[in-house]
């Protein structure tokens, strides 16, 4: 299925750690020529560049706290205002809370349909995947299976994640599900919400995501009379 020309492709991807969300978001974004916006990346950039926001974020994180809704909403709003996001975007890591989700709805005013897609994977599969996961020791990128020994972004050495022991993995998944449940409830009644089975090979998941997102974006666009 292809998109109406001129229609914006505004996407939020939800999915637990280990679902392959980051990789899928990146591939989808590249394929459709829209930016993948990861709040983790934006925060790291801001901290490195020592912007005003970066200083606030670093102070918060150094104190052992999570960066709050206001700061996250601010940086996403700033990012979505850039020209390259005019034809759409793929958000990865935002929103994380219902407060952030309703702020995003306000930002979407005049921008067209927001498609929300959740990648669903059974817990046991996630635990297995996470236990085998590696990251780049230099830039911190999550290594997809194609990267055998070095990082595909910076050439750094891949290492096993230290926080991926079995008990810790299960605890992280519990936290994720607890925090994400209200978000899924917030979105799941909408005609532009889709759940996709992520327990399949990456290329199959990619194709399923692609058709689900394009279909959801078109159906709701027609429904709105655009």
Task: Give the binding site for Zn ion (CB under 5 A).
Answer: 136, 138-139, 141, 151, 153-154, 156
Which one of the listed residues 87, 96, 111, 170 is annotated catalytic? 96
Tally of CA atoms within 13 A in the half-sphere of 212 that contains its CB: 23
For residue 66, the minimal CB distance to Zn ion (Å) is 25
Residue 172 is a catalytic residue = yes
| Cβ-based nearer residue to Zn ion, 156 or 202 | 156
217: number of Cβ within 10 Å:
25
| Cβ-based nearer residue to Zn ion, 74 or 140 | 140
Residue 58 contacts residue 47 (beta carbons within 8 Å): yes
Of residues 39, 37, 102, 36, the one with CA closest to residue 66? 39
For residue 135, the minimal CB distance to Zn ion (Å) is 8
Distances (CA, A) of 45 to 40, 41, 51, 139: 9, 6, 9, 12
| Cβ-based nearer residue to Zn ion, 35 or 156 | 156
| Cβ-based nearer residue to Zn ion, 7 or 150 | 150
Which one of the listed residues 87, 111, 133, 190 is annotated catalytic? 133
Residue 92 contacts residue 29 (beta carbons within 8 Å): no
Residue 21 is a catalytic residue = yes
Residue 79 is a catalytic residue = no
| Cβ-based nearer residue to Zn ion, 66 or 139 | 139
Give the H/E segment covering residue 28.
helix 21-32
Residue 161 is a catalytic residue = yes
Which one of the listed residues 21, 79, 129, 194 is annotated catalytic? 21
For residue 142, the minimal CB distance to Zn ion (Å) is 10
Distances (CA, A) of 87 to 29, 58, 82: 11, 31, 11
Residue 101 contacts residue 95 (beta carbons within 8 Å): yes
Which one of the listed residues 44, 161, 170, 190 is annotated catalytic? 161
On the 0-12 / 13-18 / 19+ scale of CB atoms within 10 A, 185 is: exposed
Distance of CA 70 to the CA centre of its chain: 19
Which one of the listed residues 27, 36, 129, 172 is annotated catalytic? 172
| Residue positions annotated with a catalytic role | 21, 96, 133, 161, 172
């Amino acid at each position: 299925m292809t998109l109406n020309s001129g229609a914006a492709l505004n996407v939020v991807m939800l999915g637990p750690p280990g679902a392959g969300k980051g990789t899928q978001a990146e591939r989808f974004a590249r394929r459709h020529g829209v930016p993948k916006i990861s709040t983790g990346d934006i925060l790291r950039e801001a901290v490195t560049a020592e912007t005003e926001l970066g200083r606030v974020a670093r102070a918060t994180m150094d104190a052992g706290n999570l960066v709050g809704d206001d700061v996250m909403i601010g940086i996403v709003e700033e990012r979505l205002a850039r020209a390259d996001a005019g034809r759409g975007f793929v958000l990865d890591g935002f929103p994380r809370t219902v407060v952030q989700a309703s702020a995003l709805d306000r930002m979407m005013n005049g921008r067209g349909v927001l498609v929300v897609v959740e990648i669903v994977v059974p817990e046991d599969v996630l635990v297995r995947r996470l236990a085998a996961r590696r990251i780049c020791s230099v830039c911190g990128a999550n290594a997809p299976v194609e990267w055998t020994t070095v990082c595909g972004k910076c050439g750094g050495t891949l290492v096993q994640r230290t926080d991926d022991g079995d008990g810790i993995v299960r605890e992280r998944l519990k936290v994720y599900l607890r925090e994400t449940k209200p978000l899924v409830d917030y979105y799941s009644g909408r005609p532009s919400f889709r759940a996709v089975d992520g327990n399949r090979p990456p290329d199959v998941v990619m194709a399923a995501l692609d058709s689900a997102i394009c279909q959801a974006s078109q159906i709701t666009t027609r429904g709105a009379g655009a």
